[in-house]
Structure 1
């Protein structure tokens, strides 16, 4: 049995087959960032659902639009989690600079847009 066969198989293989192992502390920090993005996505989904189903004094059309924006952002956050984790792990393995988050700006703009819709829709 070859030495490479002794290594445990890890997913995704395309990532773990390049470069060298980074300091485990950095990989664990990258994992925590992944989990923070997942948590953010869950929060956005919950906020969108709550906004749409609770009896808020907000114009129904604008409330629904804000909820759709929040739920859409909640769907995008896990994509950011995976892509960001993968790119950061690859950069660390190849000793390259860490990349910027891909979807941070669109997610921030979505939250701001939902807030504007809620503010406009507030009924006096």
Structure 2
């Protein structure tokens, strides 16, 4: 049986139930009806795309730290850490969104909406602007 939060138990219980499904995805099959396999495969492709994004962010974090030695250490470390943390958050968000979408499809509900892509895009735009300025003006330590 799928873990369902008790009435009045709140968002924390719902989040905990979702996290348990990350480690036991077969339990999703106990809920609703099986969607057309093409939708499930599309959901998995989206999940994998988010994981590729996560890996790119992690790689970018290491690249900033290793290949921009002329930028001051505090700035370089900050930029690298933001990218590394962003990569970790992106990976966690990927699995959470995969579970949420799979459950919604099985229930015949609308797919969940997420602000994460917008937040990630804005964060990367700001980070890119800072990197451009740092490289262009050679902010050395």
Under a length normalisation based on structure 2, what TM-score does the superposition of the two structures give?
Answer: 0.72
* Matches of 2:122 and 2:57, distance apart in 1: 13
Match for 2:117 among 104, 112, 117? 104
**Per-residue deviation at 1:58?**
3.1
**Per-residue deviation at 1:19?**
0.2
1:51 aligns with 2:81: no
Which stretch shows the higher mean deviation, 50-59 or 30-39? 50-59
- Whether the 8 Å contact between 2:64 and 2:80 is mirrored in structure 1 is yes
1:119 aligns with 2:132: yes
1:72 aligns with 2:85: yes
Q: Which has the higher contact order (CA 8 A, sep 6+)?
A: 1
3-state SS in 1 of match to 2:74: helix
Give unpaired runs (5+ residues) of structure 2: 1-23
Q: CA RMSD in A?
A: 2.0
Give unpaired runs (5+ residues) of structure 1: 1-10
* Matches of 1:13 and 1:24, distance apart in 2: 15
